[in-house]
Amino acid sequence: MQRIAVVTGASSGIGEATARALAAAGWRCVLVARREDRLRALADEISGEVELCDVGDRAAVEALAERVLERHPAIHLLVSNAGMPARGTFLKADLDLVERVMRVNYLGGVWCARAFMPGLEAAARAGGAHIVNLVSVAGTVSFAPAGAYAASKHAQLAFSRSLAAALRGSGIAVHAVLPGFVETEGFPQKNVLKSRLLHRFVIEPDDVARAILRAIEKGKQEIVVPWFPYRLVGIAQAIAPGIVARFVGMSDYKGDAV
């Protein structure tokens, strides 16, 4: 049986790496993004399918799902990876940017899950399906220098946890993958991280792709990549938010996590 995976944000970074890893494992990938040239080059390489869509547009997502489900009535995996940065505090960030990042990073995943649910349910009846939400350590830690981005990722994590509870027993497993700093085209961490210490914990998209496959294979509902030190920072945020706030200030951090 051919397993079908829909991967959003597949034109570069984590999405591209994930599509490559899935294809190598035998999945047929539907590649979703806005940049057609990038998608077609990748599709030719991994025998995937190209779908142009801005996940921040609900109508576009619904039309996307309609097209894909017509070809593939059963969707075995939805990877909601599309995302965007949003630098600046809530005092200075452009309000249109604040709205846009919520639509792409949070609502895009909600709309994709709802739109592809018939296909996921069909796959679940035949053996099982998965939804992977690419969150971030920013979903557990509040960074003032990227306030809107952190808020969008907090919302995405809450959505993922709530969806997992709602789908328990349905045959559709929901996984939240929370990477730390990842060096990608959209998130050039080495240019925005001044701290040498933080530079040591920057990872590559392939590391996250492997974690996604691991989460699916082992049934992990939430996985932090890498566990150290990011999981500890998330725990510290919950227990002593003031200490984390001081650390962020001392690190002279001026960007976003993945």
Angle at CA of residue 85, ends 40 and 231, nearest 5°: 105
How far apart (Å, rounded) are the C-alpha atoms in residues 252 and 258? 17
| In the predicted structure, residue 257 carries a pLDDT above the cut 80 | no
| In the predicted structure, residue 250 carries a pLDDT above the cut 50 | no
Give me 134's structure tokens.
């690419």
Look at residue 33 in the predicted model and tell me its pLDDT: 98
- 73 within some domain: yes
The residue ranking higher by pLDDT, 229 or 189, is 229
- 258 within some domain: no
The residue ranking higher by pLDDT, 77 or 247, is 77
How far apart (Å, rounded) are the C-alpha atoms in residues 231 and 137? 8
How far apart (Å, rounded) are the C-alpha atoms in residues 142 and 150? 6
Look at residue 192 in the predicted model and tell me its pLDDT: 47
Domain count across the chain: 1
Burial of 197 (0-12, 13-18, 19+ CB in 10 A): exposed
Looking at the chain, the whole-number percentage of residues with pLDDT higher than 70 is: 80
- 110 within some domain: yes
- 10 within some domain: yes
Helix (H, G, I), strand (E, B) or coil at 87: coil
Look at residue 202 in the predicted model and tell me its pLDDT: 85
Residues in the chain: 258
Give the residue numbers spanning the domain of 16. 4-251
pLDDT band at residue 168 using 50, 70 and 90 as cut-offs:
very high
The residues near 20 (Cβ < 8 Å, ≥ 6 apart) are: 42, 45, 46, 209
- 117 within some domain: yes
Strand order in the sheet with 222-225: 49-52, 28-33, 4-8, 77-80, 129-134, 172-179, 222-225
Greatest mean pLDDT among 18-22, 88-92, 184-188, 233-237 lies in 18-22
Among the listed ranges 27-31, 72-76, 213-217, 223-227, which one has the minimum average pLDDT value?
223-227
> Which positions are catalytic?
149
> pLDDT tens for residues 45-57?
999 999 999 999 9
| In the predicted structure, residue 139 carries a pLDDT above the cut 70 | yes
Residue with tokens 């709602």, as numbered in its chain: 166
The alpha carbon torsion through 240, 241, 245, 248 (nearest 10 deg) reads 80
Buried (b) or exposed (e) across 144-174, using 16+ Cβ within 10 A?
ebbbbbbbbbbbbbebbbebbeebeeeebbb
The residues near 167 (Cβ < 8 Å, ≥ 6 apart) are: 131, 173, 174
CATH number at residue 192: 3.40.50.720
pLDDT band at residue 145 using 50, 70 and 90 as cut-offs:
confident
Bridge partner residues of 51 (DSSP):
32
Look at residue 142 in the predicted model and tell me its pLDDT: 79
Among the listed ranges 63-77, 119-133, 149-163, 183-197, which one has the minimum average pLDDT value?
183-197
Bridge partner residues of 30 (DSSP):
6, 49
| In the predicted structure, residue 258 carries a pLDDT above the cut 60 | no
- 256 within some domain: no
- 257 within some domain: no
- 70 within some domain: yes
> pLDDT tens for residues 27-46?
999 999 999 999 999 999 99
> pLDDT tens for residues 74-109?
999 999 999 999 989 999 999 999 999 999 999 999
Give me 12's structure tokens.
């570069």
